[in-house]
Amino acid sequence: MLNKFNLRGSKKENDASHLFDSTQIPSHIAIIMDGNGRWAKKRGLPRIAGHKEGMDVVKKMVRESDRLGVQVLTLYAFSTENWKRPKTEVDFLMKLPEQFLTSYLEELIENNVRVEVMGDAQQLPRGTVKAIETAISRTSENDGMILNFALNYGSRHELTDAVKQIISDVQADQLTVNDIDESIISSYLLTKQYPDPDLLIRTSGEIRLSNFLLWQLAYTELWFTDVLWPDFTEEHLGEAIAHFARRHRRFGSVNN
Ligand code: V07
């Protein structure tokens, strides 16, 4: 049953939707957007030029994921480990959320996209937090695709906080030890409102999870590609989704 024509919007040159049908679109895609620095270095440019280029790819992938009918797109924008980078690079990265939202929030609102951010906001510059709060509140009523940025996020930190909160709720008699099961634990994580990711994409050739969504990725299809994030296109996204659709078709009805 091929119903690729049900996809929203028009067909484009670099569309890979002939590789899958719209019943097999992952509900939740998570992406580790790696390779921006390497992309810049290859061109003799400063690393920040790669990050800037990477931001434009974010916009393209948001448009394409929305068009395909993805429900949640989670993007790893900044990890708790990224603070170890040179100060000039960190300072530049910290300005990107605001820059992204200044140039793109109106389009997100127009397209019914809801912006969410998970991670520790405490250490972020005031202007960044302000811009994010505005984006979250101006899109909070939108019921289309959720665009979820992991910003100053680390999975072990998330799990540590969940353990602390669970213990505190047990001590306050809000919860008993016997209540605690996998779904309770999921409900204490920053992703509690979302289904687990169906597909994880990591660009730039590293085969690691780097402290990203360790609990949530337990059953997720993993797609690693050598393509650097600034070179990642709609067609590459389509290839990753086709991989997911193939696995899904093959194993969907069997218990493994
Ligand atoms: C960042 C661009 C994409 C490649 C990876 C690193 C650089 C978008 C955001 C963002 C974050 C929160 C938000 C809106 C936009 C972003 C950082 C880096 C730190 F609410 N891209 N992008 N944030 N890069």
Catalytic residue of the set 14, 15, 34, 152: 34
- Whether 34 sits among the annotated catalytic residues: the reply is yes
pLDDT at 220: 97
- DSSP label at 8? S
Would 112 be classed as within a structural domain?
yes
What mean pLDDT is reported for the chain?
Answer: 93
- Whether 82 sits among the annotated catalytic residues: the reply is yes
pTM exceeding the 0.75 threshold for the entire prediction: yes
- Please report, rounded to a whole number, the percentage of residues in the chain having pLDDT higher than 70: 93
Is the pLDDT score of 253 beyond 90? no
Q: Give Cα separations from 59 to 19, 32, 54, 92, 105 (angstroms).
A: 23, 15, 9, 18, 11
Would 255 be classed as within a structural domain?
no
Q: What residue owns the CA closest to ligand 1's atom 18?
A: 77
Range of the domain at 75: 25-154+196-245
Q: In DSSP terms, which residues pair with 114 in a beta bridge?
A: 146
* Ligand 1 atom at minimal distance to the Cα of residue 229: 4
Give phi and psi for 5, each to the nearest 5. -75, -5
Q: How far apart are CA 226 and CA 148, in angstroms?
A: 24
Would 254 be classed as within a structural domain?
no
Would 110 be classed as within a structural domain?
yes
Order of all β-strands in the sheet with 28-32: 114-118, 146-153, 72-79, 28-32, 199-202, 221-224
Three-state secondary structure call for residue 81? helix
- DSSP label at 165? H
68 touches ligand 1 (CB under 6 Å): no
Would 60 be classed as within a structural domain?
yes
Would 202 be classed as within a structural domain?
yes
Question: Which pLDDT band holds residue 14 (cuts at 50, 70, 90)?
Answer: low
Would 140 be classed as within a structural domain?
yes
- Residue of 96, 105, 210, 232 best suited for mutating to test ligand 1, as the one with most atoms within 8 Å of CB: 96
Which CATH number is 98's domain given? 3.40.1180.10
Would 86 be classed as within a structural domain?
yes
**What is the total count of domains within the chain?**
1
